Structure 1
Amino acid sequence: MNKIKSLHIIISVILIASSLVSCEDLLEEETFTVLSPNDFFNTGDDLDVVLNSVYGELRYSDIKRDGITLQEVNTDIALERGGGIFTFNEPIEEFTWTSSHQWLRSMWERRYRTIFRTNVVLDNAEGIEMNETRKSETIAEARFLRAFNYYLLYDLFGPVPLITQSQTAVTDRPARASEEEIVSFIENELIAAAEALPVAPRNGEYGRATKGAALGILSKFYLMTKKWQEVASATRQVMDLGIYDLFTQGNRTELFSPDNQRDNEFIFVAVMSDNPDDNTGDGWLSHVVPRGYQWQYPPRVIFAAEYKIWSAFLELFEPEDERLNAFLFEFVNEQGETIVLGEDNARSMKFPEYPTQGISRSSDDFPFIRYADILLSRSEALNELNGPNQESVDLLNMVREAAGVSTFALSDFASGEDFRDFILDERGREFHTEALRRQDLVRHGKFIEMARGRGKPAMEYHVRYPIPQTEIERNPNLTQNEGY
């Protein structure tokens, strides 16, 4: 069986058009120039070209679509009204989504496209003569990025096909991995990556995978799978690196400002372009602010779509909580009128305007994990292991102190359940608009319960999204998630 290594998304294959000599000739192409894999993968720089494209895919991950719609619009935090994208948001909010939802398909395709690229790097790295330290770190980086993409897929869909090499046949139709296989694979790949990755990003390039990033995502994966002892161990390793801490140099929301974008609270982020002409930045605010809003750094468009915040969610915050400053409750329009947004109409401005912004996008980096998550994850895990304990309370208080709100004593929590419920609320206050809420609610067993409380027809199987219908039709060996 012939196997073809595809490089169509890594490099441009150089073909000069073939010609037909006469009408009697069959369609016989004469290839003048072909750039083959053997021509391309000769140096470590060649591998970096492919790896950089993987980071590019993370940069193209749309905050509003892949993040807020799929991870928050079906929770107690967000809703969306208006514009053409309401067509995609409404079934997510109403728990009527199907396997034909276009954004589920695009998420699946983007993740596997990225996995393919990491497989290309891993299939070619060993055969290249290069500095051994650089080779080891490049391989670890690719393994981390591949595992991270499988982590994202598992979060949404559960077990998926495990594809670990770039050479595939047109007849290959991989079945889904078992629960044990996918969990073991992600865990082992992240552990291996953490062992080999440097503490500081390779070449000093901010945004590249590091030991902290691998350990951080490993911590979150253990949290997702409720391996509490492993969560405690992995988070401790991140803390012991001694290079991360909480941002405390100003109002809590200033962490996301242009001046603090690279603060050492951020562990792993999607780095957005600072070039306003590069259409890969963050388009969040143009889908958030109300009509009539006056931009600080014009010009900028305001789309018809409007992502909003449920007022009931805002009641979780204490009045003095600095994190409330991330929300827009009123504004002065161009006529000088003060517009009060009102019930279920506040907006999350967590990712603020930047001086370097295009007509609809700005350069806000999007955090996949930051140090506050490490602290609260460890706090939650220790409570699950031991019930309310002093370290869990201390870790919680560290995050609350950074936000300017009151702290607690161990005696304030009567039971592990009380602490568990409070830590879930704290995670909502801390991580809204960072695409973590659905995952947190599912882990706490509250996702379906809370949706039903909002009057949604949520069923137990809705804790996972369906495998995209296009993939089911393309691959007869794929089985659909229960209920779809």
Structure 2
Amino acid sequence: MRRNLHYIIIISFFTLCTGCKKDLLNIENPNTPTTDVFWKTEDDAQRGVNAIYAMFYKPALWSRWIYFRLDLTSDEGFSKSPWVELGDWTRFQYVNYNFGEGNVFTWKDTYKAIFRCNQVLDNVPNIEFANQEDKDKILGQAKFLRALHYYYAALLWENVPLVLKSSQPDDLPLQSTLPEVWAQIEKDLKEALEVLPVAWDDANLGRPNKGSVNAYLARMYMQQHKWAEAKIALDYFFTGEGAGRYSLVSNYQDNFTHTNENNSESVFEIQFSDVNKTPEDADGPSQIMSSQRAQFFAPRSIGWSDGQARYWIVGEFKKENTVDGNLDPRLRYTLFYPALEADFGDKIYGRSWDWDADEAWFRKYARDYFRNNEDYYAQNNFRLVRFADILLLYAEVLNELGNTADAVQYVDQVRNRVGMPALAVNHAEALLGQDAFRERLKVERELELCGESVRWADLKRWGDLDDAGKVQAVAERDPDFKNFVVGKHIRLPLPQIEVLNNPNLKQNSGY
């Protein structure tokens, strides 16, 4: 199953590095071998593309720090970390633009991942394959992964350089505008869509398929308010080849544990594993392949508690009950909060609550369901896209295209899975028009997707950060937004060291 992809990556690193006759305790970066000795065979091409996946496991990306940008900077989370500078970067107090954990490290590893994509795209076309389809799949994966990393760069920094060839140390790439970045993402995704399969065999679970590509095409279009184009991408799941291939799992919790991964709801997920318990900066056959999110987001005395959830979300969940009169079960698996034991009978990591009454923490991807502590080696796959998100995105697109009546059914599917009444029963006003439905959909996405790293993109897409009045409304939920400056904090500053070293870069507006 998905573990096979982990072993493929490990073996790829091992074969690539031992070919250079290096001591296994001193393994070089997988991109170190020169083109004189590498990029010759189909196996080289496979190892090259596998090295791209290894970047997911870097602390600056999906192992740890990117969640601080996507979850904690949004109105869902915040930080009371004693590391003041770390907390400042979740409350729009950016002083040192070269702060590693807040900015530079994620920038660096984003471009390292893009570099690995470019190596594949530059060199694999020159390798002779027995089967052209196998070659196309490797190139398609590289294009999808390059688009994915640029998508998150666009969300965070916006005006980033488009590096589309294997870079050299003395390169001075030109800065691109946000529309140019979106255009390149679109190009890569469309080309990947042509060659990636509808599904992979069990040995290759975790690699992107046509569903993964269409999901990111839709997200990319929606951030630009290209609703008609987004609908075409999302139609894949409902009237295209993907129709019937995806469905909501019956148990909501199954989306966040390691016991039911790559299930029918999964559209694209990062394949984390606890097979290697090595230093986080290792880069080779034994590199760490686990998530550290739980360790940094766990409640005090369990983990570092550098990231917390805003308590307003608890109240939002409790505004309505299921058809059986019970609390929304998603609350149980979304947050740790003071009344969790009283509401659902769940102790927190096997113990009763002993923290402040108005505090909450993210429960998704925590491992309290089978252990009473956390560490740096969480094996839970992170679901970057799941079908519930697709349903809600489709509803949003239909509504923006003026088809609110058809949009309702897709929200109701998400609500029905957890026993919530149909919108027409509890929220009839949301069915009265486009604006009312949009406002209700904002709540529905929060209840379903809280803590899943989509909220920052949502706030930007909805225009909730575009003027002072809307920002003030967000600040009523999250006081950190009192620091938010319209037109400035919608994007991060570029790392100042990059601006100083490259005369082709201009610092983002307001910084």
TM over 0.5: yes
Which residue of structure 2 lines up, in the alignment, with residue 349 of structure 1?
Answer: 363
Confirm or deny: 8 A CA contact 1:270 1:367 kept in the other structure.
yes
Confirm or deny: 8 A CA contact 1:13 1:35 kept in the other structure.
no
Confirm or deny: 8 A CA contact 1:265 1:370 kept in the other structure.
yes
Which residue of structure 2 lines up, in the alignment, with residue 24 of structure 1?
Answer: none
Q: Deviations over 1:60-106 (max 9, x none)?
A: 3555843331122222211222344x531233224445522323111
Q: Deviations over 1:387-426 (max 9, x none)?
A: 5x22210011111111221211395322211111111111
Q: SS of the residue aligned with 2:103?
A: helix
For residues 264-283 of structure 1, the aligned pairs below 5 Å read 264-275=264-275, 277=277, 279-283=288-292
Which residue of structure 2 lines up, in the alignment, with residue 231 of structure 1?
Answer: 230
Is it true that 1:386 corresponds to 2:402 in the alignment? yes
Moved more, 148-157 or 316-325: 316-325
Which residue of structure 2 lines up, in the alignment, with residue 249 of structure 1?
Answer: 250
CA distance in 2, matches of 1:53, 1:211: 21
Give the direction of change, closer, same or farther, for the CA distance of 1:333–1:397 in structure 2 (3 Å limit): closer
Is it true that 1:479 corresponds to 2:495 in the alignment? no
CA distance in 2, matches of 1:177, 1:110: 19
Which residue of structure 2 lines up, in the alignment, with residue 150 of structure 1?
Answer: 150
Which residue of structure 2 lines up, in the alignment, with residue 137 of structure 1?
Answer: 137
Give the direction of change, closer, same or farther, for the CA distance of 1:415–1:263 in structure 2 (3 Å limit): same
Q: 390, 412, 421: which one pairs with 2:429?
A: 412
Which residue of structure 1 lines up, in the alignment, with residue 49 of structure 2?
Answer: 51
Q: SS of the residue aligned with 1:129?
A: coil
CA distance in 1, matches of 2:393, 2:330: 19
For residues 255-404 of structure 1, the aligned pairs below 5 Å read 255-275=255-275, 277=277, 279-291=288-300, 302-317=302-317, 318-319=320-321, 320-326=327-333, 327-330=335-338, 338-353=352-367, 359-386=375-402, 389-404=404-419
Q: 1:473: how far off? A: 1.3
Confirm or deny: 8 A CA contact 2:76 2:313 kept in the other structure.
yes
Q: SS of the residue aligned with 1:379?
A: helix
Q: SS of the residue aligned with 1:161?
A: coil
Q: Deviations over 1:276-322 (max 9, x none)?
A: 63533122222233345xxxxxxxxx344342222212222134211
Q: Which amino acid aligns with 2:482?
A: K
Give the direction of change, closer, same or farther, for the CA distance of 1:90–1:343 in structure 2 (3 Å limit): farther
CA distance in 2, matches of 1:13, 1:137: 25
Confirm or deny: 8 A CA contact 2:158 2:177 kept in the other structure.
no
In structure 2, stretches of 5+ residues that fail to align are 1-12, 23-31, 279-287, 322-326, 342-346, 466-470
Q: SS of the residue aligned with 2:72?
A: coil
Q: 1:184: how far off? A: 1.6
CA distance in 1, matches of 2:53, 2:17: 16
Q: SS of the residue aligned with 1:49?
A: helix
Q: 1:232: how far off? A: 1.0
CA distance in 2, matches of 1:14, 1:361: 29
CA distance in 1, matches of 2:18, 2:150: 27
Q: Which amino acid aligns with 2:260?
A: N
Is it true that 1:459 corresponds to 2:466 in the alignment? no
Q: Which amino acid aligns with 1:458?
A: F
Confirm or deny: 8 A CA contact 1:213 1:267 kept in the other structure.
yes
Q: Which amino acid aligns with 1:377?
A: L
Which residue of structure 1 lines up, in the alignment, with residue 281 of structure 2?
Answer: none
Which residue of structure 2 lines up, in the alignment, with residue 40 of structure 1?
Answer: 38
Q: 456, 461, 479: which one pairs with 1:443?
A: 461
Confirm or deny: 8 A CA contact 1:243 1:264 kept in the other structure.
no
Q: SS of the residue aligned with 2:268?
A: strand
Q: Deviations over 1:186-226 (max 9, x none)?
A: 11210111111011126741111111111111111111111
Q: SS of the residue aligned with 2:90?
A: helix
In structure 1, stretches of 5+ residues that fail to align are 1-6, 17-33, 293-301
Q: SS of the residue aligned with 1:264?
A: coil
Q: Which amino acid aligns with 1:285?
A: A
Q: Which amino acid aligns with 1:74?
A: T
Q: Deviations over 1:22-50 (max 9, x none)?
A: xxxxxxxxxxxx95313211212111112
Q: Which amino acid aligns with 2:272?
A: M
Confirm or deny: 8 A CA contact 2:72 2:79 kept in the other structure.
yes
Moved more, 103-112 or 312-321: 312-321
Quote the RMSD (CA, aligned, Å). Answer: 2.8
Give the direction of change, closer, same or farther, for the CA distance of 1:441–1:343 in structure 2 (3 Å limit): farther
Give the direction of change, closer, same or farther, for the CA distance of 1:135–1:408 in structure 2 (3 Å limit): same
CA distance in 2, matches of 1:35, 1:457: 47
Larger Rg: 1
Confirm or deny: 8 A CA contact 2:294 2:374 kept in the other structure.
no
For residues 109-188 of structure 1, the aligned pairs below 5 Å read 109-130=108-129, 131-166=131-166, 168-188=167-187
How many residue pairs match? The answer is 445
Q: 1:337: how far off? A: 7.1
Which residue of structure 2 lines up, in the alignment, with residue 4 of structure 1?
Answer: none
CA distance in 1, matches of 2:304, 2:386: 32
Give the direction of change, closer, same or farther, for the CA distance of 1:36–1:248 in structure 2 (3 Å limit): closer
Confirm or deny: 8 A CA contact 1:67 1:434 kept in the other structure.
no
CA distance in 2, matches of 1:77, 1:284: 15
Q: 1:13: how far off? A: 9.1
Q: SS of the residue aligned with 2:85?
A: helix
Give the direction of change, closer, same or farther, for the CA distance of 1:291–1:176 in structure 2 (3 Å limit): closer
Q: SS of the residue aligned with 1:269?
A: strand
Q: SS of the residue aligned with 1:48?
A: helix
Q: Which amino acid aligns with 1:412?
A: E
